[in-house]
Amino acid sequence: MSAGSLTILVIDENRIRASIIEAGLRDAGHRHVTVVHDVAGIARRIAEIEPDVIVIDLENPNRDMLENMFQLSRAVKRPIAMFVDRSDQASIEAAVEAGVSAYVVDGLKKERIKPILDMAISRFNAFSRMARELEEARSELENRKVIDRAKGILMKSRGLSEEAAYALLRKTAMNQNRKIAEIAQSLVTAAGLLGPLEGE
Amino acid sequence: MTAAHQITAGFMPLFDSAVLVVASEMGFAAREGIELKLHRETSWANIRDRIAIGHFDVAHMLGPMPLACSLGLTPLASETIVPFSLGLGGNCVTVSNAVWQGMAAHGAAPDLDPARAGAALGALIRERTAGRREPLRFAVVHPHSGHNYELRYWLAACGVDPDRDIEIVIVPPPFMADALAAGRIDGYCVGEPWNSAAVAAGTGHIVTVKALLWRNSPEKVIGVRKAWAEENPDALAALLRALHHAARWCQAAQNRGELAALMADARFLGQPTKIQMPVLTGHLELGGGVERTVEDFFVPFDKAANFPWKSHALWFYTQMVRWGQLAHTPENLAIARDCYRPDLYRSALKPLGVALPGANAKVEGALKVATPVGSAGASLVLGPDGFFDGQTFDPDRIDAYIAGQQPA
C-alpha cells in the first residue's frame, strides 16, 4: 500500500504551522490531508473526513473536547487510540516535547504511523525554531535602536565621536560582563530620568 | 544556594489552583527546601500526558482524574496517586438568561436551592421535549470530573436523565462564558471564576452551587506520578507540608485581598480581582442583581479539606460505574481504593503536630452539622457533608449503592 492511502487530519489554529505540516505530509506522498484551523463543528468534519490519523497541537485547549468525542465515538465511528503505540515511550515523549499530539485509529500499524508522527515532530520543531529566530531578529533590531540612542546621548553629553561612544559602551559592557544592549538600555533609562542630559 | 528538591508542577487556570500557586509564590515551598516550578496548561489532557511521560512530577488535577489514569480510562494511562486534596466545593451551575427565564416560569427562584431549581429545570426540559425542541446542551470541563458527576447526580435526582433528556458536551473552563453567550451551550457546571465571569458579563444566571448539592464535597487534588512519589519520598513529604501551610494561608480571611491580587496575575488566572472575590467570600452575584451568600462555598483548608479521603475516591468510582464509563469489578474497585493515599498525607504532616483524621474513609452525607472529631494532637471539625437529596454513601456498602443508582 502506498503512503498516500492514509487519511490525515491536521488540527492547528496556527495557520503557518499547519501549512508547514501539510506541505511536509504532501511531500512525503500523502494525498489525503485535510487542515482544520477552527474546532467549531469539528464533529461533523471528522465524520465526513473519517481520518485514520489526527494530528493536533498540544496548545489547543479543545483537546479535552476532542477526546470526549473520540470516546463517545459517535462522530468518529471507530475507536481512537492516542499516539502511535502506548508502549512507544520515546515517540510519545518526543511528540509532547515538540508540542504535538496524535490520535490514531486503533489497529493501524505502528510502521505506517511512525513516519507521519516523526514528520509532524520535525515540522513542529522547525516551526518553533523559525519563530525563535524571528523573535531574535526582532530583538536584534530593537537592540540596535537602543544602542544608537545611547551612542547619541554619549556623543552629545561627552562630546565623543560616534566611534568613541560605541567603544565606551563596549568597554563598559566588557568590564561589567554584560551585553552592550543592556548597558545602552541602562544609559537610555538613566538619561530619561535625568531629562536635561538628553537635551529633550 | 540550591534547593534540596526540584519539583515541576502543572496547573490549569482555575481558582482552585491557588494552594499550589501560593505554595510557590508566597515562599512556603522555598521554606521546605523546594524549588517549585509551575507550568500553566491549556487542557486537562495535557496535564495528564505530561504527568504520564514525566514532564510533571505533580499536578493540579480533577479529583476523579487520577482514578481514570490509574484505571486505564484515558488514552495515555499512568499510575497516578493522590496524597493531597486542594479543597472542597467551588463550582456552580450557570444557565443562559433564556433558560433562566424558562426555569423561572416553572417556579425557580433565585435562591440556589438545588431541589427547587432542579424541579424547574426538569419541567422546562419536559416542556421542550413535548414541543419537539432541541434538547438543552450543558457543558462540563471533562468526562472524568467532579463537575460531570455532580451535574448528573443533581439532574438524575430531579428526574432528568442526563443521557437522554439533555446533551452534555466538554468545553474548556475559560471558554464556558463565551460559549454560553454565543448560544453554543445552554448551561454549564464549572469552577470559579468562570461562573461569576458570565454573571458579570450579563449573559448567565447561577442556579445552584456544588456546596448545596453535596456540602463540603471533593473537587481538585494534587495528582502525583506514582513512580516519582516512590523515588522521592522526602520531596513529596516536603511538598505536602508546603501545601498544608499554603492552604492555611489561603483560608485566612485577612489574606483574601492579597490572594485575589496574586491569582489575577496573568501568569495564573489573569482575571480581574473583583471576579476572584465571590469564591473567597461565598458571596455570589447570581445574575439580575440578586446576591446570595453560601456557607462553605469553597473551603481550601478548614474541615480537613486537604485530607484525601478514600470515600471521596470511591464515590467518584461509583459515578464512573453509574454513567457507563467503567465496569464494576473487584479489580477496578481495588485500583480505586488504592489511588487516594491518606497514609502519605498523614506521615508527611505528623511532624507538624496538626490535627489528622483517625480514619481513611467516612460515611459521606452522614454529618448533618459540623462535628468535632477526636484526632491526634489537636482538634478537628468535620462537615456538615449532606447530599441535597438526603442520601448517604457508605464506602463499606458500595455494591448496594451502585445497585441503588442504576438508571431505571
Contacting A residues, span 74-133, partner chain B, CB-CB under 8 Å: 80-83, 86, 89, 92-93, 96, 101, 103
Cβ density class B366-392: b for 16+ within 10 Å, e for less: ebeeeeebebeeeebebbbbbbbbeee
pLDDT reported for residue A198: 45
Average pLDDT over residues B370-377: 71
Q: B78 pLDDT band (50/70/90 cuts)?
A: confident
Residue A197 has pLDDT above 60, yes or no: no
Q: B9 pLDDT band (50/70/90 cuts)?
A: very high
Interface touch B75/A82, C-beta < 8 Å: yes
pLDDT tens-digit map of A51-68: 888 899 988 999 999 888
CA B250 to chain centre: 16
What nine digits make up the cell of B203?
Answer: 449573559
Tell me the chain B residues in contact with residue A67 when contact means C-beta distances shorter than 8 Å.
Answer: 45, 75, 170
pLDDT reported for residue A85: 60
Helix (H, G, I), strand (E, B) or coil at B267: coil
Residue A43 has pLDDT above 90, yes or no: no
Q: A199 pLDDT band (50/70/90 cuts)?
A: very low
Residue A151 has pLDDT above 50, yes or no: yes
Interface touch A60/B143, C-beta < 8 Å: no
Interface touch A65/B170, C-beta < 8 Å: yes
Average pLDDT over residues B36-60: 94
Average pLDDT over residues A82-108: 78
Query: Mean pLDDT in chain B?
Result: 94
Residue B19 has pLDDT above 70, yes or no: yes
Q: B323 pLDDT band (50/70/90 cuts)?
A: very high
What nine digits make up the cell of B372?
Answer: 468535632
A58 touches chain B (CB under 8 A): yes
Cβ pairs bridging A and B (under 8 Å): 60
pLDDT reported for residue A200: 42
pLDDT reported for residue A46: 86
Residue B375 has pLDDT above 70, yes or no: no
Check: pTM over 0.95? Answer yes or no.
Answer: no
Average pLDDT over residues A128-143: 88
Query: Mean pLDDT in chain A?
Result: 84
pLDDT reported for residue A116: 86
What nine digits make up the cell of B148?
Answer: 460531570
B174 touches chain A (CB under 8 A): yes
Average pLDDT over residues B334-345: 98
Please state, in angstroms and rounded to a whole number, the distance separating the CA atoms of residues B63 and B312: 9
Tell me the chain A residues in contact with residue B50 when contact means C-beta distances shorter than 8 Å.
Answer: 96
A59 touches chain B (CB under 8 A): yes
**Residues of chain A above pLDDT 70, percent:** 87
Average pLDDT over residues B11-18: 95
Residue B209 has pLDDT above 60, yes or no: yes
Interface touch B76/A83, C-beta < 8 Å: yes
**Residues of chain B above pLDDT 90, percent:** 89
Q: Which residue of A has its CA nearest to B174?
A: A61
Average pLDDT over residues B335-355: 96
Q: B46 pLDDT band (50/70/90 cuts)?
A: very high
B287 neighbors B104 (Cβ within 8 angstroms): no
A71 neighbors B43 (Cβ within 8 angstroms): no
| CB-count burial class (<10 Å; 0-12, 13-18, 19+) for B33 | middle
Interface touch A64/B142, C-beta < 8 Å: yes
What nine digits make up the cell of B136?
Answer: 438543552
What nine digits make up the cell of A77?
Answer: 465511528
Strand-pairing partners, residue A57, are: A100
- Lowest mean pLDDT across A20-24, B152-156, B270-274, B370-374: B370-374
pLDDT tens-digit map of B141-191: 999 999 999 999 999 999 999 999 999 999 999 999 999 999 999 999 999
pLDDT reported for residue B378: 59
Angle between helices A63-72 and B44-52 (to 10 degrees): 90
B44 touches chain A (CB under 8 A): yes
Compute how many other C-beta atoms are within 10 angstroms of the C-beta atom of residue A97: 15
Give, in order, the Cα–Cα distances in Å from B288 to each of A165, B103, B113, B176: 65, 14, 17, 19
pLDDT reported for residue A103: 85
